[in-house]
Amino acid sequence: MQEILAKLGIEKVNLGAFNGQWLGSGDELTSVSPIDGSTIATVKQCTVDEYDQVVSAAQKSFEKWRMTPAPIRGETVRQLGNALREYKTELGALVTIEMGKIRAEGEGEVQEMIDICDFAVGLSRQLYGLTMHSERPMHRMYEQYHPLGVVGIISAFNFPVAVWSWNGALAAACGDASLWKPSSKTPLTAIACTKIAEKVCRDTGVDPAIFSLVIGPGRSVGEKLINDRRIPLVSATGSCKMGYRIGQVVGERLGRTILELGGNNAIVVTPNADLEMAMRAIMFGAVGTAGQRCTSTRRVIVHDSIRDQLVEKLIAAYKQIPIGNPLSEGTLMGPLIDKSAVTDFTNAINAVKSEGGENLHGGEVLDGSDYPGGCYVTPCIAAAKNEFQIVQQETFAPILYVINYNQFEDALRMHNDVPQGLSSAIFSTDMLETEQFLAHSGSDCGIANVNIGTSGAEIGGAFGGEKETGGGRESGSDAWKAYMRRQTNTINWGTTLPLAQGIKFGE
């Protein structure tokens, strides 16, 4: 581990703020590995005064960066992608050490960063506007997009590096600076990423404050960020509760938000499904990252006629899941992020039972020498009803609720009858069922899939959801437009001044 930390520039004690220079004099934050409960390193957090220094530097860097031609901005992002390729193994390992996801998922997250950098490089030559015909003679109308400003990025522990890149790479290509506040549970991965970006900027002659960092408590630094009028856009990933707070505060100052919040994702399995394929998708969606993805599969809505068969397949598969050290080859499920998450896991299982549900498999807390740190559990499959209060909530843990249906219309109703609306899927070979699932009256989620699971979105599509999931979109497609300000332009190339709508004024 020490070799990995050294290559990424992580020291025993690290500074938690960056504005072109490293600073940090606040309380010390300890990063603890969920693998075994050991201390990885500590971080001297950003104070409120230091926060102001960071934002001031980011604002100055933006004023210069916005005037850099977009293709040249894209070259810096290209170099960032290349640097991430160089550090993929070590950064992926640090994600595993600090967050607990298995090694393949840690490296896969870094690959997402590389992919979004590639996307942003192409985008830097495609920040297209639009031309329109004017109703006035000798007039031309068009729209263009300008850089917006300093973009605040608030990321969660479960994707400690990818979410920053989704926002930061696009923001940089669009001519914005970014200010990253990562989760206090995963500060070291943020420091490592910022150091990689710093080196790239220095090598390309760019002010490295375009990728600024503040690590500090939400009650001080976080509140300062969301109230800061110098930050026109806050992109936040986290819980619905957090999203309500950020949306309210930023909205009151008429700022913008991109909110990617909780998911309560369901897979509908019909009698026309390929059960083997459905089982594999459900297992990955529910167990991957120990159920700590916003796109994790939380509910399976399965037809009565195949319910027992599917459950039997799932239990057999769950029994074969290797649980343990996520750095070890062959492990498919590592620990939860901390003991608080384990408590939420056990409380949710007890709530299912109290509401009349049944634990069909798993749900144990694992301890002993093979599971140090106290954060390991066995993934749970529970029989439940959609209207259970606990089912209506998002428990960030590997709990899968199995819910029966008889009529397809009932399956769609139950699918949509939760407060969240992020990701969804249907398994069926019947075109009428799949098309109904994708229709206006079908899934109400931001992501709707057919014969693939709820988890594992590609960077090319806009990512985000509806309802309490926040309505924001990150990553691909035209999500870049949220990071820019839109402007309509009209040019009169004649010698008279006709008014719109044929208005005559003063004639």
Catalytic residues: 260, 294
Question: Angle CA(166)–CA(446)–CA(237) in degrees, nearest 5?
Answer: 40
Going by C-alpha positions, the residue among 288, 282, 259 that lies closest to residue 152 is: 259
How many CB atoms lie under 10 A from the CB of residue 496?
8
Whole-number Å distance between alpha carbons of 392 and 410? 16
Dihedral of the CA atoms 297, 300, 306, 309 (nearest 10)?
50
Whole-number Å distance between alpha carbons of 46 and 28? 10
In what helix (H) or strand (E) does residue 257 lie, and over which residues does it extend? strand 256-260
- Whole-angstrom Cα Rg for the chain: 24
Whole-number Å distance between alpha carbons of 342 and 347? 9
Tokens matching residue 60: 């100055």
User: Residue 333 corresponds to which amino acid?
Assistant: M
Whole-number Å distance between alpha carbons of 315 and 402? 12
Whole-number Å distance between alpha carbons of 254 and 249? 9
Alpha helices, H only, 232-338: 240-252, 275-287, 304-318
CA 309 to chain centre: 34
**CB within 8 A of 274, min separation 6: which ones?**
427, 429, 451
Whole-number Å distance between alpha carbons of 112 and 459? 7
Whole-number Å distance between alpha carbons of 421 and 398? 19
Going by C-alpha positions, the residue among 189, 203, 230 that lies closest to residue 80 is: 203
Phi, psi of 421 (to 5 degrees): -155, 60
Whole-number Å distance between alpha carbons of 290 and 474? 23
Provide the 3-class DSSP secondary structure of residue 14: strand
Q: Are 10 and 90 in contact (CB under 8 A)?
A: no
Going by C-alpha positions, the residue among 116, 96, 97, 117 that lies closest to residue 106 is: 96
